[in-house]
Chains A and B, each alone.
Chain A
Amino acid sequence: MTSITSFLAAPTSALDIPDTPDLDRMRRETGARLRSAMADRGVDVLLLLGNNSVVYATGVSWPLGDAGLSHVERPVAVVLADDPHPHLFLPFREGAASESGLPADHLHGPVYLEFDEGVEHFARVIEDLVPAGAVLAVDELTGAMRRAQPRLFRAGPPADAAQIVGAAKVIKTPDELACIRTACRITDEAMVDVQAALAPGIRQIELSAGFMRRAFELGAMASMLEPIWQVMPPSKADGVWTTHGDLALPLLTTERELVAGDVLWTDVSITYAGYCSDFGRTWVVGQEPTPRQQAQFAKWREILDAVLDVTKAGATAADLGRAATKANGGARPWLPHFYLGHGIGVNAAEMPMIGTDLGDEFDENFVFEPGMVVVLEPVVWEDGTGGYRSEEMVVITEEGWIPLTDYPYHPYGAR
């Protein structure tokens, strides 16, 4: 191979993350990780339909749309174990922005896997690309694909491609980290203006409008979830009914007008080159936090620091969970339906997840490695304060971690 095929090592400091991602190098390195994960599981071919998996496997990104339309107009990727380039089937527009990195004979027209006729056409293409005995894995089966299984999967039922993509993407290359960090910077900058506009009388939906405008102006490719500005209840008992009796999160945005003293738990996410940001802060509308509210923040900070103290390569997810629980006086500082923290990449939330119903054994067995990214989001709650929740994103290193976010905690914290 030529010398331009440089591979970057896992970062040890923020300086090791390139300022601008090299998307061709990123595609080469993630492709190598993906094919290595295929080899580990003895899989020869991946058929990928899920938007995020296609983004990961091909390096192609586009402004993701609503799932409903995306089922019929969506890119599909076919990854062969012995081919450095994936095959990509593109509908109009989707992926058009960055299609140029693939050889022309790997770019194909759209396929329509919702329909028997579309699957029939796709099966003929697959027969040409894939040897008859090859072991296939797939991430999703449409109804039409289920009807055509013997034709599509000649070597028997397909394996689960989600496991393979998951194993590959859990460790990020430096260029992926650069994409994530750029997405975070765009988000943070947009949120400065949103937070400046926060005042009694503004409606939740107006905050969403302002965020969308600013994030796109600053270079966001897509919003990944409808922006959340959840007004916290005075007490758990006053909150909406939940299956577990704890707090609901996230509750949807409406035209509700915010009033002085409202405590907001915010959550937004955008993409840059297909990679997600995650932003979460607690804000108070139109007034300074009370001493009790400041104490909530102080407790949250104490928990976060305790978690970060044990965060490094070699630590387990359970180590982080234990540190958080201990700092919180023995109770888990996160909501029962969520987690202390989660990974992020082409998905706004992906593995690893810390403290979920996957169970203690899962957490004990999950060992952090350099280049993994985790979003930590402990939750502190005391009735009468609105609680405190923020999200902090770090990259795992041999010695510890590198922060990817530095948005201020205002109006909480030192004044």
Chain B
Amino acid sequence: MATEVLPDDRVLRAGRRERALAQMENHDLDVLVLGRQANVRYVSGAPQLWVAGTRPFGPTCVVVRETGAIHLLSTWDEGVPDDIPHENLYGITWNPMNTISVLKRIEGAATAKHVGSDALSPGFAQLLPMAFPNAELVDGELAMRAARRIKTPEEVAALREAIRVAEVGLAAAVAEMRPGVSEKTLAGVLLEAMAAGGVSTPSTQDAAWVTSRDHPWRRANDDGRVQPGDLVAFSAGVLDGGYTGEVGRTWPVGEPDGAADLYRRWDALWHRLYEACQPGAPGTDLLSAYQAAGEQLPPMPISRGLGLGFDPPVVSQHLPAIAAEERLEAGMVLAVTGYVWQPGVGAVFGREAVLITADGPEILTSSPSANVAVGA
């Protein structure tokens, strides 16, 4: 982090914008209206205020394919790259009719035939036709998803840095783990360390929890304090330069009975997951890794792309057709989750960032794991 708010690096920006424009062409979109922060950052390269949770849809950034012009909702120019001139900035409005007036004036709006948006609300479904009177309004998220799917080398470098900050946070929280400490204090330590490392924008704030001995994934129903014999899960995630860096680990408090066996099971599962991360492999191979290891599939996606926000492939037991269709490709970066549970013991959760290369998987995370500590 610098002492000034700076736009994203020029090469990083240019690589992304080129991909977005190419996908607009592939999807036959004349104009993209973007409201999702990740997409806005992807095409504009301008840092924006981070706010927790999803936001209602609103036109925050408009891309015109023919001219390549980017129009951005920003009341000031700090952090805005110089290829977005002042006349393309529009200030914060609360009145959607004023937003529509801005969009109407954009060169190319009146003649656009296909306008994609990355989400929509019933309100803007009614209003956008006023700004794009000759256009069919269609989904634009598929085009953005296709653009974001494969990372440029500059994006991989940005992800490595984001993961490094997440690992600093995780290490700080693990160091504070002791009987009596609360889950929230561990989260506070983790978030403090990531901020001290330069990033005050977490991607997750659900940072530490005692895993349940009674249920495969519900919370341990107590006062949120760590006790001897607990298995404590740590999930660190940052948004660094817009990029999501994530790492997950589980550490035991003391030497819980049965923990060594559970860590060995996690290791065996992870070995199979790692082997499934091959270029050309279907997403199904990741699901099969759980089955082959004899482990129950957890309720969360066991793999999703890391980048700005979420990226394909999202591999979940709830999306079997997608898992079968998806192929891993070189240049994807995945957050892959291993999760094993034993009644009476708890869960071991581990999340690794994996870069798919032409030669196979490269693990980008390097946080120590507890396996050695428990003799697994």
Contacts and interface: CB of A to CB of B under 8 A. Distances in A.
Contact of B237 (A66, A91, A140, A142): A66
Given A142-B119, A242-B76, A254-B4, A68 B203 contact: yes
B254 interface: no
Nearest to B186: A216
A51 interface: yes
Given A49-B54, A112-B314, A213-B191, A93 B206 contact: yes
Contact of B54 (A67, A210, A358): A67
A93 B300 CA distance: 9
B191 A64 contact: no
A162 interface: yes
Interface string B22-52: 0000000000000011100000000101111
Interface in B173-200: 182, 184-185, 187-189, 191-193, 195-196, 198, 200
A225 B288 CA distance: 39
A217 B314 contact: no
Interface residues of A, number: 95
B120 A140 contact: yes
B234 to A, nearest CB: 13
Contacts of A159: 122
Interface in A223-245: 223-227, 240-244
B53 A73 contact: no
Contacts of B320: 117
A143 B52 contact: no
A112 B94 contact: no
Nearest to A143: B139
B227 interface: no
B267 to A, nearest CB: 22
A124 interface: no
A206 B3 CA distance: 12
Interface string A115-137: 10110010000000000000001
Nearest to A239: B76
A82 interface: no
B122 A68 contact: no
Nearest to B77: A241
Contacts of B367: none
A101 interface: no
B213 to A, nearest CB: 15
Contact of B52 (A213, A222, A240, A358): A222
A66 B309 contact: yes
Interface in B132-150: 138-142
Contacts of B239: 66, 68
A209 B75 CA distance: 27
Contact of B78 (A158, A240, A244): A240
A213 B188 contact: yes
Contacts of B195: 205-206, 208-209, 212
B91 interface: yes
A206 B196 contact: yes
A45 B315 CA distance: 31
B372 interface: no
A121 B94 CA distance: 36
A255 B138 CA distance: 41
30 contacts: A50-B54, A66-B201, A69-B203, A71-B309, A91-B299, A92-B217, A111-B318, A112-B319, A114-B141, A118-B318, A139-B56, A139-B121, A142-B141, A144-B139, A158-B122, A209-B195, A212-B188, A212-B191, A212-B192, A217-B188, A219-B184, A224-B51, A240-B76, A241-B76, A242-B91, A243-B86, A243-B90, A244-B91, A252-B47, A254-B5
Interface of B: 1-5, 36-38, 47, 49-57, 74-79, 86, 89-95, 98, 118-123, 125, 138-142, 182, 184-185, 187-189, 191-193, 195-196, 198, 200-207, 209, 217-219, 237, 239, 244, 298-301, 304, 308-310, 314, 316, 318-322
Given A67-B55, A99-B218, 11 more contacts: A63-B187, A65-B206, A69-B203, A72-B314, A114-B310, A140-B56, A205-B200, A240-B78, A241-B76, A243-B74, A243-B75
A-B interface, 5 closest residue pairs, ranked by CB to CB distance from nearest = A68-B309, A216-B188, A143-B139, A213-B192, A92-B300
